[in-house]
Amino acid sequence: MEREPYPSDLSDEQWALIEPMITAWKQDRVSRSATGDPRSCDLREVVNALLYQNRTGCQWRCLPHDLPTWSAVFYYFTLWRKDGLDQRIQEILRCQVRERSRRLEDPSLVIIDTQSIRVAAGVPEKTTGLDASKKTPGRKRGLAVDVMGLITGVVVLAASAHDNEAGIALLDQAAERCGMCLEKALVDQGFKDAVIIHGAVKEITVEVVRRNPDDRGKGFVPQPKRWIVEQVNGTLMLHRRLARDYDHRPDNAASRVYWASTAGMLRRLTTPTPAWRDDVELAA
């Protein structure tokens, strides 16, 4: 008997986009293991369970009974993170979204920013800290995104870590994934000379976007292009599991960002977007 679908479930069209990558991973995993895959369950349902947990923020043991057991979902979540499958899926979808928008696969410009996130009780103290400038205890999540808001790098550190540490790690990730296409990175005033120097070593121009002095006292004023990464941070908060950091391991927390990004790009690739000519015809 088929179960009732959840709003976060993959459609057939969305599953068709990532099934080949998951199938190839499973075949490779079995070929490299003497005993094969120790678990046997529907991997589409495993992905559905991960997306459900990301959206609802529920605990592992609170996953619905009509989804695979929490231990099986946790097993695959951990294994996919260790093997880098979560990142490979996200990277391939990112290239597809850019190509669909008639852009090159890899961007020439990225925007980098960090966000301090509070952690849940039980998260190891050694992986957390206090953000001195924002007075926020917890962890610091760093993102590198392109002008379409597609993620090219994720890093999760203790909130006490300086923005430079996150910026250097994100530049390394973006340079590795975008190759020679990447020419420029935009950062805010929290990033200092160390990031600019590291960018120069990577042949990436790092530009610090400074606030307009006339905007003082006006509250939050979006900066040109810099607002894109702020928008991505806000969108991630729609995934309740990302609104607060519940994961004991920072790399697990980063993996959740990749899965949230994957869910968003699957919707982009499978939801028809009318061209401007269609809009004109409808208006007429």
Per the model's pLDDT, the better-predicted residue between 16 and 223 turns out to be: 16
19-32: average pLDDT: 87
- Predicted TM-score of the model (pTM): 0.89
Quick one: 70 and 110 in the same domain?
no
Q: Is residue 267 part of a domain?
A: no
Quick one: 134 and 197 in the same domain?
yes
Q: Is residue 92 part of a domain?
A: no
Nearest to 53 by CA among 75, 31, 70: 70
Quick one: 115 and 230 in the same domain?
yes
Quick one: 79 and 110 in the same domain?
no
Domain of residue 236, residue span: 106-247
Q: What is the pLDDT of residue 186?
A: 94
Quick one: 69 and 115 in the same domain?
no
Structure tokens at 260: 């949230």
33-49: average pLDDT: 76
Q: Is residue 38 part of a domain?
A: yes
pLDDT one-digit tens code per residue, 104-157 = 999 999 999 999 999 998 899 999 999 988 888 999 999 999 999 999 999 999
pLDDT interval class at 221 (50, 70, 90): low
Q: Whose structure tokens read 């946790």?
A: 74
Q: How many domains does the chain have?
A: 2
Quick one: 122 and 165 in the same domain?
yes
8 Å CB contact between 170 and 202: no
pLDDT interval class at 282 (50, 70, 90): very low
Quick one: 156 and 65 in the same domain?
no
Q: What is the pLDDT of residue 213?
A: 64
pLDDT interval class at 236 (50, 70, 90): very high
pLDDT interval class at 37 (50, 70, 90): low
- What mean pLDDT is reported for the chain? 89
Q: Is residue 284 part of a domain?
A: no
Q: What is the pLDDT of residue 211?
A: 73
The whole-angstrom distance between residue 105's C-alpha and the CA centroid of its chain comes to: 17
Query: In a 10 Å sphere around its CB, with 0-12 CB exposed, 13-18 middle and 19+ buried, how is residue 179 labelled?
Result: exposed
pLDDT interval class at 216 (50, 70, 90): low
Q: With 60 as the cut, is the pLDDT of residue 195 above it?
A: yes
Q: Is residue 143 part of a domain?
A: yes
Quick one: 78 and 165 in the same domain?
no
8 Å CB contact between 28 and 283: no
The β-bridge partners of 157 are 140
Structure tokens at 253: 């927390």
Quick one: 40 and 152 in the same domain?
no
pLDDT interval class at 228 (50, 70, 90): very high
Quick one: 50 and 179 in the same domain?
no
Per the model's pLDDT, the better-predicted residue between 16 and 41 turns out to be: 16
Quick one: 67 and 179 in the same domain?
no
Quick one: 155 and 238 in the same domain?
yes
Q: With 50 as the cut, is the pLDDT of residue 280 above it?
A: no
CATH number at residue 170: 3.30.420
